[in-house]
Amino acid sequence: MKKLAKTLFFVIFISFCSIIFLTGYYSYKIPQTYKMFVGQKPEFNFFGVDFEKIEQNIPINRPSKKFIDTEFYKAKFLGFIPIKNISVKKYNKVFVIPCGTPFGVKFLTKGVMVVDTQKITTKQGEKNPSKDAGLKKGDIIEYVNEEAVNCNDDIKNIVLKSSGGEIKLKYNRNFKQYETTLTPVLSKKERKWLTGLWVRDSSAGIGTTTFCTEDGIFGGLGHAVCDVDTGDKLPLGTGEIVEASISGVKKGICGSPGELSGTFLKDKIIGHVKINTDCGLYGKFYRPIYPHEPVMIGFKQEAKVGSAYIYSTIDGKESKKYSVLIESVDSNSKSRNFVIKITDKELLDKTGGIVQGMSGSPIIQNNKIIGAVTHVFLNDSTRGYGVFAETMLEVSDELQNSYME
């Protein structure tokens, strides 16, 4: 009898622990928000989990004309253990033009980014006025003596006029505003008033366009444009898009990512950049481009482990189709939603897999664009990360709305 009681207790205890574990697991795995098109039925596909539709009288914020309505569901494990409430946002069908084509970007910052400070030799010895003022690598200086600054020359001219007098700076660090004062020192060697500041005020490079709408709104790159020294996202002031062509490939190997090299074509401006975000660059082409036939956006729940393909350009201006394998899907990550593996023999032979410059290459599965390539694994150039297309669509929708206002 005691043995039976122990066995029963053990079974109940294991069952209880399993339920607690699975409830927590599903709470993490089930996204807070789903998106789908009008006419589609919710397919949640979580074993042992029921989804009960609930009515909520909540005012609906419509972020774009594509958005129609929101439904709410309560997720329950085994039909009675509450997990979480989720929302299902419904949209009209969205078609975009998958690209995979190269573009050149000329990028001017809003403010200037501190990339380093250095000591200056004076008659009194070595001094570092920028460090003494509390400035650090990655700070974004926006105003000097109440004047907006957007390039190194702006600061240089104000410093020269100061004749060694105290200057006031307003700067941004980690999205917080700060103020400080800085006193230039007279360089013993150059006989000039200097601050010891090294700043970045521009950037240029080549990326890959993910998609374009028929209105010319585009998203590309899949990740932010960051400073090469600090690794921080560059604050966008203005940006121009020019035609570009890929002229060479450095093949990737373990521990050393390869890269595409290219050239700007005739400095012809074909559009402008409006936003630099963690999931890519966004702006507008003066004329939409049509490298491939339009396809529907695929939402995150439609991305599955299995075969897919990307559009990318590794020579010239025209993108080609290359086969890939989606190895895993993470709906909860902000930007690393896929792990993909290049399986196309031609691409592997020429590039070794994913190389720098391919970021933004659209990922197509079941004739829908579900994401974009973002990063390559340093220890395996055949594999890398991708971001959901629906994440990029949210940003492009906001941008499109701003043009319509």
Overall number of domains in the chain: 3
Q: Is residue 300, in this structure, part of any structural domain at all? A: yes
Query: 170: domain range?
Result: 119-195
296 touches 93 (CB < 8 A): yes
Higher per-residue pLDDT: 225 or 380: 380
Amino acid at 125: G
Residue in the structure block whose two tokens are 């400080």:
180
Q: Is residue 4, in this structure, part of any structural domain at all? A: no
Please compute the mean of the pLDDT values over residues 334-351 and round it to a whole number.
93
Q: Is residue 3, in this structure, part of any structural domain at all? A: no
Tell me, what's the pLDDT at 56?
Answer: 62
Residue of 344, 361, 375, 397 with catalytic role:
344
Point out the least confidently predicted range of 76-85, 141-150, 304-313, 355-364: 76-85
Whole-number CA gyration radius for the chain: 26
The answer to whether 344 is a known catalytic residue is yes
Q: Is residue 270, in this structure, part of any structural domain at all? A: yes
Give the domain CATH number at 46. 2.60.40
**263 and 184 inside one domain:** no
Question: What confidence category does residue 349 fall into, taking pLDDT thresholds of 50, 70 and 90?
Answer: very high
**30 and 83 inside one domain:** yes
Calpha distance 49→40 (Å, rounded): 20
Higher per-residue pLDDT: 268 or 184: 184
Amino acid at 175: F
**223 and 361 inside one domain:** yes
* Diameter of the chain measured on Cα atoms: 97
pTM over the 0.85 mark = no
Q: Is residue 185, in this structure, part of any structural domain at all? A: yes
Residue of 203, 359, 361, 396 with catalytic role:
359
**394 and 296 inside one domain:** yes
Exposure string of 38-60, with b = 16+ CB inside 10 Å and e = fewer, is: eebeeeeeeeebbbeeeeeeeee
The answer to whether 359 is a known catalytic residue is yes
Residue of 201, 223, 227, 292 with catalytic role:
223
Name the domain boundary from 176, 195, 214: 195
3-state secondary structure 6-17: HHHHHHHHHHHH
